[in-house]
Amino acid sequence: MDKRLFIAERAYKRLDVFLSEQTDEFTRSRLKKLIEEGNVSVGGVPQTKAGADIKVGEAVELTVPEVVEYAVKPENIPIEIVYEDADLAVVNKPKGMTVHMGNGVVEGTLVNALLYALDSLSGIGGVLRPGIVHRIDKDTTGLLVVAKNDKAHVSLAKQIAEKTCKRTYFALLEGNLKEDRGTIVTDIGRHPTDRLKMSVLPEGKGKLAITEFETVARFGTEFTLCKFKLQTGRTHQIRVHAKHMGHPVAGDPVYGYKKQKLNADGQLLHAWQLELTHPQSGERMTFNAPLPPAFQEILRKLCKRYQVCGEFESLC
């Protein structure tokens, strides 16, 4: 067990902010969890509130529990690793694969596959989410970055929080989206009556969610191919914002229309591009993953039906 003592040289309005400035080893969310689990004392008194005030000269002791061995078993599941080095890996996640354990899912996840395929993963995500810096939905395909050590995890998480890690998606939307481009800014939170869904909420009732969009191609009045850039990373953000615009993602069984026009077997949403700064070298890196075959085939059929062609065809 690792104990660390810090003395506040100035006053702080939040304990987790103070600790995050004392060490670059942990993310803010990890520190908050350590505080809430009773691993921090202020002036010798246990403190479980991350938002507690810290006065000048106060002694703050942080106890870091010993690393728990992964409870998730490695599984030999084929996954496409687009890039890998000593600090990170970039993976092209297939449709139907959950990123990590939860809600009764105990095997067949991306984490199970990563534990088998990689030589190390960061521990900041906890026992059930080793290496996981960000997620994409089970039936969403495409790129996500995985941290192989804690230092890389902190750097990548910070890039996502500061919006310097760029994530670009392609989605096929229902209907004719009239706008060529725009930015959606709302609050997103848990749906007030259906706790399994997310929803756009009144300002101040959820977390800020910002999505940029650009129309790539229109297929009559039936469908619109759109490019989305995430400025924030809320749960189901693109799917919720697409519905909010009145044009849900085609094939989406949760936020889309009950009667689907396409046999898509899940939402046609793909994490196409990932741009980040390498946590060790500082090099700016960009990765791309082509649309999955089923998505490509649907686009080909729509192109033929509506005689629409353009630069987007290079995605197929």
The structure tokens 């033929």 sit at 304
Give the Cα separation of 301 and 307 in Å (integer).
10
- Among residues 16, 137, 139, 150, which one is catalytic? 137
Would you call 137 a catalytic residue per the annotation?
yes
SS3 of 79, please?
A: coil
Q: Following CA atoms 203, 160, 217, 201 in sequence, which dihedral angle do they give, to the nearest 10 degrees?
A: -20
Sole residue written with tokens 């999505």: 211
Q: With left for phi above 0 and alpha for psi between -120 and 50, is residue 311 left, alpha or beta?
A: alpha
Q: Which 8-state DSSP code applies to residue 87?
A: S
Residue 122 CB partners (closer than 8 Å, separation 6+): 130, 131, 147, 148, 149, 150, 152, 153
Catalytic positions, please? 137
